[in-house]
Amino acid sequence: MNLKSIYKLGSPPLFYKLCIVLEPWYLISSILLIAVGMYGGLFVAPPDYQMGDAFRIIYFHVPSAYVSMMAYVFMAVSAIIGLTWRSNVAFSLAKSCAPIGASFTFLALITGMLWGKPMWGTAWVWDARLTSELILLFLYLAYIMLHLSIPDRSKADRATALLAIVGVVNIPIIHYSVVWWNTLHQASTISKFAKPSIATEMLWPLVIMILGYTLLFAAFLSKRTAAELAVREKRTRWLQTLIVGDKNNA
């Protein structure tokens, strides 16, 4: 893809249509991958020699945690693009990321607590990894509340963009917390691609689940971004023409 094609993606009409077209493909693909990953994780993968069947929560916890961080980075990058080029598409993407990312972060925390109870004897400890993930949830919620509290959309876009950019410093803290500090949370298992600390028969369902969750995030993001662009561009001719065309086709 050349620079001209990338620049065209900043066009609200083009990006809106792209979101509408891609959303069902992302959604169907994610459902299929998650179904395969769940079957592999719950029924094919053998029990862990230490944790038994309780380890299977990782097939929901790890993908949720991964997407929670990926979504924030995507939000911050979109915010930078929005501030640089005053792009409605970029600001729409950033705003749409926040509630989706918050949902995946909440899911990561809940599944982590369900995992922690039998493993550590308690659902919550002020562990570096858990605490930094909780801070991530607060950053998402702060972004959402700040956007709602500023009536002027352009000012809200700029203010929340700065928050998103500053908050991205928490992402490496989450990732490296198990290395930098002595924590209860286990070390990374699949990020060491040369020699992952997990058996192959346990690894492949996890990789598929991560891919499925990523595509599910893309599906939700496409739908929310299309809706956000429709709100922002409601007075433009291209959207009114599109709405009239849809009514005539109906």
Beta bridge partners of 52: 48
Does a structural domain hold residue 196?
yes
Instruction: Split the chain (250 residues) into runs of 10 and give each run's mean pLDDT.
Output: 64 93 98 98 88 86 96 97 94 98 97 81 77 95 98 97 97 77 56 61 94 98 96 84 65
What is the chain's alpha carbon radius of gyration, rounded to the nearest angstrom? 20
Domain holding 79: CATH number?
A: 1.20.120
In Å, what is the CA distance from 110 to each residue of 61, 143, 225?
8, 21, 27
Task: Give residue 100's pLDDT.
Answer: 98
Rounded-to-integer distance, Cα 34 and Cα 76, Å = 27
Q: Which residue has the tokens 């699949």?
A: 190
Tell me the one-letter amino acid at 102. Answer: A
Task: Give residue 186's pLDDT.
Answer: 57
Does a structural domain hold residue 16?
no
Task: Give residue 168's pLDDT.
Answer: 96
Total domains present in the chain: 1
Does a structural domain hold residue 164?
yes
Does a structural domain hold residue 4?
no
Q: Where do the H-state alpha helices sit in the chain?
A: 3-8, 12-39, 58-85, 88-120, 128-149, 153-167, 170-180, 200-232, 237-249
Does a structural domain hold residue 9?
no
Does a structural domain hold residue 111?
yes
What range does the domain containing 43 cover? 22-249
Does a structural domain hold residue 71?
yes
Task: Give residue 193's pLDDT.
Answer: 44
